[in-house]
Amino acid sequence: MILMWVAFALLTLLAVAFVALPFLSKERVQSLTYNANSELIAIYHQRLGELAGELANQRIDQVNHDESVVEVKRRLLNELSPEKSLMSKGNNRIFAFTGSAFLVVFTAIFYTATGSQQQLQNWHTAMDNLPAYGERAVMQQGEPLTQNELQAFALGLRTKLAQNGDDQVAWMLLGRVAMSLNELDMAQQSFDKVLRMDPDNMSVLISYSQVLLLDGSEANMTRAAGMLSKVLKADPTNLDAISLLALIAYERHDWLQAKAAFEVLLNSMDEQDSRYSMIAQRVTEIEQKIAAENSEQNAQLTPVAQPHAQGEKDNSNAATSAINITIELAPQLVDKQPEQGILFVFAKAASGPAMPLAVVKLTDYRFPITVQLSDSNAMVAGLTLSSVEEITLTARISKDASVMPSTGELEGRSAVLKRSQTKAYDLLINELIP
């Protein structure tokens, strides 16, 4: 910081010298006084008189007279220097001081308006607090890092890596901080650095797989699956790797593999674990999907009689089972909405399968909003809103495209309702999922 201000001072002095020196420098010319100029003018008038006398005495003709007068005037102009005689040393000092002051003030205003002094201050703060950020992030000491502190931590880590070269721990921390900031490119680059130094780093392989899954492309899911297989080859009981492989299988609609992976997780968990019920619901959901696919395959082999009449019946059921749900968000949760959240509105059987009976998914919404659920919103054929009598309604603002709940999402649930007696319902989102 001191070096920067010294450089600023030197540049300012150089600029002031560039402005002031032309005013203070002395011209190397012979100075002419007022008396000297008077003598030259007197000689000029004397010469004009002589030329007039010679013309009167006819010693020269008019043409020569006029030429001689022009020559005398030219000589006088060449010898006189009135602008030099008017220059003042005092005035030059004022001009130099004024120009220098204007330069300094203009530079200060311009730097204040366009400079990066705040960013520099933030950088110094990040470097000063880097050890404290590391303790809070890695050792879980004190309050969790806020979004601004995570950005400062990332800045400090990048500076440390630029100054000290490759540091495996610093690159790993930078990757995880980048994940928290949703900077997926930075996270991938950081984890790539770690894997070049330590290709068998299991925790980095798992974290890298999570980043690839967030991207969601088929190529990245294949790459993530390869990394997780490497982890399981070294540690077959690694639950993080198994859960990520289960998610990959689920996203690919490989229901049998997903069910097997989730069941392994269930068998390794205590029933009191907060995640147990969620995974159990996921297994039930997958079983229903498998059953639905089997039913569809069987239906394709059996002719359907009277399709027109059946369609009319389905439309009638959808109309009679429709429920209009008006959803509002509690004022205390307005600031806790996930960025780019997705609104899910769904109905479930009060007792029975955990699979939703009807689901509406909205990416563009504004509260209050009214949504209609009916048989046309069913996820699985045969498991519809009109197929049960007692239901519960749920509205959830999700952080991802999954209807399954996760920490930090917002939710509102109804009491048990009689489906046949409920045509409209007001639902308030008033809960933050821990």
What confidence tens digit (pLDDT) does each residue in 313-342 have?
A: 444 455 557 899 999 999 999 999 988 888
Quote the CA–CA distance of 46 and 394 in Å, as a whole number.
115
User: Which residue from 387, 359, 389 is spatially nearest to 373, judged by alpha carbons?
Assistant: 359
- Quote the Cα angle for 3-7-9, to 5°: 115
Q: Note the pLDDT of residue 240.
A: 86
Quote the CA–CA distance of 289 and 260 in Å, as a whole number.
14
Shared domain for 232 and 372, answered yes or no, is no
Shared domain for 212 and 267, answered yes or no, is yes
Shared domain for 109 and 132, answered yes or no, is no
Low-confidence ranges of the chain (pLDDT < 50): 28-30, 32, 83-89, 301-316, 381
Burial class (CB in 10 A: 0-12, 13-18, 19+), 245: buried
Shared domain for 104 and 139, answered yes or no, is no
Shared domain for 333 and 264, answered yes or no, is no
Q: Does a structural domain hold residue 415?
A: yes
Q: Does a structural domain hold residue 309?
A: no
Q: What is the spatial order of strands in the sheet that 323-329 belongs to? A: 369-373, 323-329, 424-429
Shared domain for 275 and 177, answered yes or no, is yes
Q: Does a structural domain hold residue 181?
A: yes
Q: Note the pLDDT of residue 395.
A: 94
Domain boundary among 114, 147, 178: 114
pTM: 0.43
- Domain range enclosing 425: 321-432
Q: What is the domain-level CATH number for residue 367?
A: 2.60.40.1120
Q: Note the pLDDT of residue 153.
A: 74
Shared domain for 142 and 283, answered yes or no, is yes
Q: Which amino acid is at 204?
A: V
Q: Note the pLDDT of residue 361.
A: 86
Q: What is the domain-level CATH number for residue 173?
A: 1.25.40.10
Non-local CB neighbours of 54 within 8 Å, separated by 6+ positions? 60, 65
